[in-house]
A = this chain, B = another copy of it.
Amino acid sequence: MPLGEKKLIQQIRRSARGGGAVVAGIGDDCAVLRVPPGHELLVTTDFTIEEVHFRRDWHRPELVGRRCLTRGLSDIAAMGGEPRAAFLSLAVAGDTPRRWVDGFLKGLLDLADEFKVPLAGGDTAQAAGGIQADIVVVGSVPKGKAVLRSGAKAGEHIYVTGELGGAAAALSQLAESKPVETEYFRQLSRKSGPQARIAVGQWLRRKGLASAMIDLSDGLSTDLGHICEESHVGAAIEAEAIPRAKFGLGKKRVALDFALHGGDDYELLFTSATAVPSQVAGVRVTRIGRTTKSAGMRLIGADGKTRRLKTGGWEHFKGN
């Protein structure tokens, strides 16, 4: 059953909950939010576009909705912030099945519930074709305490949370039309799947341990490149130290390239002048290298040989 724009508004409105920071939510020209005194505001926006970020025949709607919001939450996590409210702009073509939209909204709103982030507004429109979503997450952080990408100094440790490359490995199998074990997708749609590292980011910010931080949405090599560029440092990464995701029935570690360049992991990458515990807020934290005075990124292999690491992160697949 196709879904009209008006129905979509009503559906989102029914699903959305106020509370928390939201003084007035859906149903006015703007949402009205309250920010705690002494806090600064964080704002991030992220597209989720059919045929660019997902394919309807590859990705379950619940997972697309969950990942749509995760993209925004993860950006708040990377600043050490607290998410306060989310806004969803959603355009769907008239021929989009209602159950797809239901599934998308369920995935997104279930995750919003987990993080106690109210959906406070947004926009709906008829799309000319396909599905386009834009998620806005507004958060807050004590004044002057946001962890930026630009704070790293040479000679610091580089850490990542969790394990890398799992999403890219699954996508690669789908692209080769190999059946992907359903277990992987069950994982993805549960708490054990991609999870914005809000608690880790806040812990690091409170302890003053992260000098620079970014979330791994485009892949380690790309996102590390952003920290290097904004902080004017280089980096040396130990290939063997990178925590690679286990994938498939055999629980084999994914190939190094997936962990180096794969996107959509939503783990945190950060630098620290001092040692950080190997577990923070229940999440594994792994030292993978150090920042350097000399510019550029280097990868140190198991054999001790060093080669240049280039930005080669995830590219959105291009509509086929």
Interface residues of A (CB under 8 A from B): 23-24, 27-35, 37, 40-47, 49-53, 74-76, 78-79, 81, 85, 87, 89, 91, 94, 120-123, 125-130, 132, 134, 136, 138-139, 141, 143, 146, 148-150, 213-215, 230, 316, 318-319
Contacts and interface: CB of A to CB of B under 8 A. Distances in A.
Given A44-B31, A148-B28, A128 B76 contact: no
B50 A128 contact: yes
A85 B123 contact: no
A81 B146 CA distance: 26
A125 B47 contact: yes
Given A31-B43, A32-B42, A45-B121, A129 B128 contact: yes
Given A43-B121, A136-B45, A30 B126 contact: no
A23 B24 CA distance: 26
Given A128-B52, A132-B132, A40 B32 contact: yes
20 contacts: A24-B148, A27-B149, A27-B230, A28-B79, A28-B230, A29-B44, A29-B76, A30-B42, A30-B139, A31-B42, A32-B146, A35-B41, A43-B87, A45-B121, A50-B128, A94-B318, A123-B134, A125-B316, A126-B316, A128-B129
